[in-house]
Amino acid sequence: EIVMTQSPATLSVSPGERATLSCWASQSVTNDLAWYQQKPGQPPRLLISGASTRAAGVPARFSGSGSGTEFTLTISSLQSEDFAIYYCQEYSNWRGPFTFGPGTKVDIK
Protein backbone atom coordinates (compact mmCIF):
# COMPACT_ATOMS: atom_id res chain seq x y z
CA GLU A 1 0.00 0.00 0.00
CA ILE A 2 1.28 3.45 -0.91
CA VAL A 3 1.70 5.86 2.01
CA MET A 4 0.94 9.52 1.45
CA THR A 5 2.55 12.28 3.51
CA GLN A 6 1.59 15.96 3.60
CA SER A 7 3.42 18.99 4.92
CA PRO A 8 2.92 21.15 6.83
CA ALA A 9 0.16 19.87 9.07
CA THR A 10 -1.04 23.45 9.57
CA LEU A 11 -0.29 26.49 7.45
CA SER A 12 -1.15 29.96 8.74
CA VAL A 13 -1.58 32.45 5.94
CA SER A 14 -2.92 35.97 5.61
CA PRO A 15 -5.64 36.67 3.01
CA GLY A 16 -4.05 37.62 -0.30
CA GLU A 17 -0.87 35.69 0.40
CA ARG A 18 0.38 32.64 -1.47
CA ALA A 19 0.07 29.17 0.05
CA THR A 20 2.19 26.19 -0.96
CA LEU A 21 1.16 22.73 0.21
CA SER A 22 3.28 19.60 -0.30
CA CYS A 23 2.39 15.96 -0.73
CA TRP A 24 4.72 12.97 -1.06
CA ALA A 25 4.07 9.37 -2.07
CA SER A 26 6.09 6.45 -0.71
CA GLN A 27 6.54 5.19 -4.28
CA SER A 28 5.91 6.63 -7.72
CA VAL A 29 2.27 7.30 -8.58
CA THR A 30 3.24 8.91 -11.92
CA ASN A 31 0.69 11.74 -12.18
CA ASP A 32 -2.27 9.87 -10.62
CA LEU A 33 -2.68 12.39 -7.84
CA ALA A 34 -5.73 14.40 -6.79
CA TRP A 35 -6.21 17.30 -4.39
CA TYR A 36 -9.39 17.93 -2.40
CA GLN A 37 -10.62 20.77 -0.23
CA GLN A 38 -12.79 20.06 2.81
CA LYS A 39 -14.66 22.54 4.98
CA PRO A 40 -16.29 21.64 8.32
CA GLY A 41 -19.46 19.61 7.97
CA GLN A 42 -19.00 19.16 4.22
CA PRO A 43 -17.70 16.35 2.03
CA PRO A 44 -14.37 16.86 0.29
CA ARG A 45 -14.47 18.77 -2.99
CA LEU A 46 -12.27 17.80 -5.94
CA LEU A 47 -9.86 20.57 -6.90
CA ILE A 48 -7.18 18.90 -9.01
CA SER A 49 -6.78 15.54 -10.75
CA GLY A 50 -3.95 14.16 -12.83
CA ALA A 51 -1.63 16.21 -10.58
CA SER A 52 -2.34 19.44 -12.45
CA THR A 53 -5.80 19.48 -14.08
CA ARG A 54 -8.29 21.73 -12.35
CA ALA A 55 -11.78 20.34 -11.89
CA ALA A 56 -14.73 22.18 -13.41
CA GLY A 57 -15.52 25.40 -11.60
CA VAL A 58 -12.27 25.53 -9.61
CA PRO A 59 -10.74 29.02 -9.63
CA ALA A 60 -7.50 29.56 -11.50
CA ARG A 61 -5.73 30.59 -8.27
CA PHE A 62 -5.49 26.86 -7.49
CA SER A 63 -2.72 25.05 -9.33
CA GLY A 64 -1.13 21.64 -8.99
CA SER A 65 2.28 20.40 -10.03
CA GLY A 66 4.62 17.47 -9.64
CA SER A 67 4.94 13.87 -10.71
CA GLY A 68 6.32 10.61 -9.41
CA THR A 69 6.56 11.03 -5.65
CA GLU A 70 6.51 14.79 -5.03
CA PHE A 71 3.54 17.08 -5.57
CA THR A 72 2.54 20.64 -4.77
CA LEU A 73 -0.75 22.50 -4.50
CA THR A 74 -0.38 26.26 -4.78
CA ILE A 75 -3.06 28.80 -3.95
CA SER A 76 -1.78 31.99 -5.50
CA SER A 77 -3.75 34.54 -3.47
CA LEU A 78 -5.76 33.18 -0.57
CA GLN A 79 -9.38 34.22 -0.32
CA SER A 80 -11.50 33.92 2.81
CA GLU A 81 -13.33 30.90 1.38
CA ASP A 82 -10.05 29.00 0.91
CA PHE A 83 -9.43 28.44 4.62
CA ALA A 84 -10.03 24.71 4.89
CA ILE A 85 -8.27 21.35 5.06
CA TYR A 86 -6.60 20.07 1.91
CA TYR A 87 -5.99 16.39 1.18
CA CYS A 88 -4.00 14.70 -1.53
CA GLN A 89 -4.95 11.24 -2.80
CA GLU A 90 -3.11 8.81 -5.04
CA TYR A 91 -4.98 6.53 -7.42
CA SER A 92 -2.21 4.87 -9.40
CA ASN A 93 -3.12 1.18 -9.05
CA TRP A 94 -6.51 0.16 -10.47
CA ARG A 95 -6.79 -2.44 -7.71
CA GLY A 96 -6.58 0.19 -5.00
CA PRO A 97 -6.47 1.09 -2.22
CA PHE A 98 -6.47 4.74 -3.17
CA THR A 99 -4.76 6.35 -0.24
CA PHE A 100 -5.35 9.85 1.11
CA GLY A 101 -2.75 11.95 2.84
CA PRO A 102 -3.31 13.16 6.43
CA GLY A 103 -4.20 16.67 5.29
CA THR A 104 -2.94 20.24 5.62
CA LYS A 105 -5.11 22.72 7.47
CA VAL A 106 -4.89 26.24 6.06
CA ASP A 107 -5.97 28.77 8.64
CA ILE A 108 -6.00 32.52 9.02
CA LYS A 109 -2.80 34.16 10.25
Partner 1 sequence: EVQLVQSGTAVKKPGESLKISCEVSRYDFATYWIAWVRQMPGKGPEWMGTIYPPDSDTRYSPSFQGQVTMSVDKTISTAYLQWTSLRASDTATYYCARHPSSGWHIDYWGQGTRVIVSS
Stretch that binds partner 1, among 19-27, 46-54, 60-68, 71-79 (CB under 8 A): 46-54
Member of 14, 43, 60, 81 binding partner 1 (CB under 8 A): 43
Residue number with CB closer to partner 1 (32 or 82): 32
Q: Shortest distance, CB of residue 49 to partner 1, whole angstroms?
A: 5
Q: Does 89 bind partner 1 (CB under 8 A)?
A: yes
Strands 19-25 and 10-13: unpaired
Could you check whether the bond before residue 102 is cis, i.e. omega within 30 degrees of 0? no
Strand, helix or coil for residue 11:
strand
Q: Does 91 bind partner 1 (CB under 8 A)?
A: yes
Q: Does 66 bind partner 1 (CB under 8 A)?
A: no
Q: How far apart are the first and last CA of the chain?
A: 36
CA distance 38 to 83: 9
